[in-house]
């Protein structure tokens, strides 16, 4: 009863803290709330990649491709770009598409999952570095396509990106504008915070249920030893494809929310460095451990923005000889090196199996009892203990 009360108290305290966090940060300016919003998007990305890397043990360096797919899907459906480019679509939707967010999010989920399976299908027999190279190439292919699909038909608007993306609308609430309730104003960044927090909570619940399910245990068996898992009857092919699909789906949803939040997308937002940062979030936090992955994502997403307040004064001290952006990258790299030296398994790694078990030591057997007689040279295992006159061996 005491443990249940403690868990309930922790749950209520965490809920109150998460609800009040943007309201407290607003006192210092909306920029801090915006940093938390971006961190929540990266949490969703890291949780999705954790399914592929942490659970199934498949190194994916092209995960940002699914982020881009979700972002461009939302941008195409919620901006005037397609209507202005293709007269046929304008005739079908003369007043604009204005598709509901409850349709766009499942659509991004499914389409990103399909692309995840497409990526996973040709890589089923690859492992380690070879798998990483192929997935890296997939991410670059998607980015190149987004850059070049502006002719002969202008689908993505090429390197110029897509502008004028509509914000989310839920129950008549425009998330792109400040909401006023009886003299109390809730800024747009705070509305997005609650939306992103809801999606992150749903993602955490799904990932946790997957982890403790038969599918999750099968993924971990493949991660530890694929040959042994196959020998035990696990269908490694289907489970690998499922891991790629499930991981990619959360990246697609996060990308859709990113496009809505930014109101602009371009291929430069989905570079290789984004994939590397997402992988670093999972590894630094703790592979396969949900609290560790969330911690790593929050730290690495917020750290570059926080370091702006450190790099700026250092740049001023050197009369502009040092670039602030380079200093931020240097500080982030140093922080990652220190973490990996001090905590090689991550900041919050998964507890090792068996360490937390309170095992009882079996009592010593009574001398002369059958339990005290162990198989050996004098007492073969195929004999009845204590009665050497009755051999049980099938050998003559």
Task: Tell me the pLDDT tens digit for each residue of 1-23.
Answer: 577 888 888 889 999 999 999 98
Q: Write out pLDDT tens, residues 275-330.
A: 999 999 999 999 889 999 999 999 998 888 777 777 777 777 777 777 767 777 78
Please give the Cα distance from 98 to 396 (Å, whole number): 85
Residue whose pair of structure tokens reads 């240097």 in the numeric block: 330
197-227 pLDDT, tens digit per residue, is 999 999 999 999 999 999 999 999 999 999 9
pLDDT in tens, 42-71: 999 999 999 999 999 999 999 999 999 999
Q: Which two tokens stand for residue 238?
A: 């289907």
Q: Of 289, 215, 212, which Cα lies nearest the Cα of 245? A: 215
- Give domain limits for the chain: 19-270
- How much is the pTM? 0.85
Percent of the chain with pLDDT over 90: 55
Using CA atoms, how far residue 360 sits from 186, 357, 364, 365, in Å, is: 56, 9, 12, 15
Average pLDDT in the 30-36 region?
91
Residue whose tokens read 């050996």: 376
Cα separation, 178 vs 167, whole angstroms: 12
Q: Give dist(CA 125, CA 255) in Å, integer.
A: 29
- The number of beta carbons lying within 10 Å of the beta carbon of residue 22 is 23
């Amino acid at each position: 009863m005491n443990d249940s009360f403690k868990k309930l108290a922790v749950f209520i305290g965490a809920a109150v803290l998460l609800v009040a966090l943007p309201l407290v940060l607003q006192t210092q300016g909306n920029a801090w709330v915006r940093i938390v919003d971006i961190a929540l998007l990266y949490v969703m990305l890291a949780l999705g990649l954790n399914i592929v890397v942490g659970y199934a043990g498949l190194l994916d360096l092209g995960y940002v491709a699914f982020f881009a797919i979700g972002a461009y899907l939302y941008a195409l459906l919620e901006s005037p770009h397609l209507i202005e480019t293709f007269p046929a679509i304008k005739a079908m939707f003369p007043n604009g598409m204005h598709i509901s967010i409850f349709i766009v999010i499942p659509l991004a989920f499914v389409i990103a999952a399909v692309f995840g399976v497409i990526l996973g299908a040709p890589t089923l027999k690859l492992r380690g570095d070879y798998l990483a190279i192929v997935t890296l190439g997939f991410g670059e292919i998607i980015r190149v396509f987004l850059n070049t699909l502006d002719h002969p038909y202008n689908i993505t608007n090429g390197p110029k990106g897509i502008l004028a993306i509509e914000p989310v609308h839920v129950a008549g609430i425009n998330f792109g504008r400040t909401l006023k309730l009886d003299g109390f104003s809730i800024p747009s960044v705070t509305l997005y915070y609650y939306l992103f927090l809801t999606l992150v909570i749903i993602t955490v619940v799904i990932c946790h249920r997957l982890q403790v399910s038969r599918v999750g245990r099968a993924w971990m068996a493949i991660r530890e030893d694929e040959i042994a898992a196959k020998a035990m009857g696990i269908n490694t092919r289907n489970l690998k494809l499922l891991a790629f699909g499930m991981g990619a789906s959360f990246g697609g949803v996060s990308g859709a929310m990113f496009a809505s939040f930014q109101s602009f997308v371009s291929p430069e937002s989905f570079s290789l460095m984004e994939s590397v940062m997402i992988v670093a979030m999972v590894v630094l936090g703790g592979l396969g451990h949900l609290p560790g992955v969330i911690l790593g994502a929050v730290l690495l997403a917020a750290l570059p923005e926080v370091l702006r307040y450190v790099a700026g004064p250092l740049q001023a001290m050197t009369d502009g000889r040092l670039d602030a952006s380079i200093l931020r990258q240097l500080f982030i790299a140093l922080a990652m090196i220190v973490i990996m030296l001090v905590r090689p398994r991550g900041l919050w790694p998964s507890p090792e199996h068996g360490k937390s078990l309170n095992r009882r030591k079996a009592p010593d057997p009574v001398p002369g009892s059958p339990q005290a007689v162990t198989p050996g040279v004098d007492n073969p295992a195929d004999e009845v203990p204590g009665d050497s006159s009755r051999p049980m061996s099938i050998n003559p």
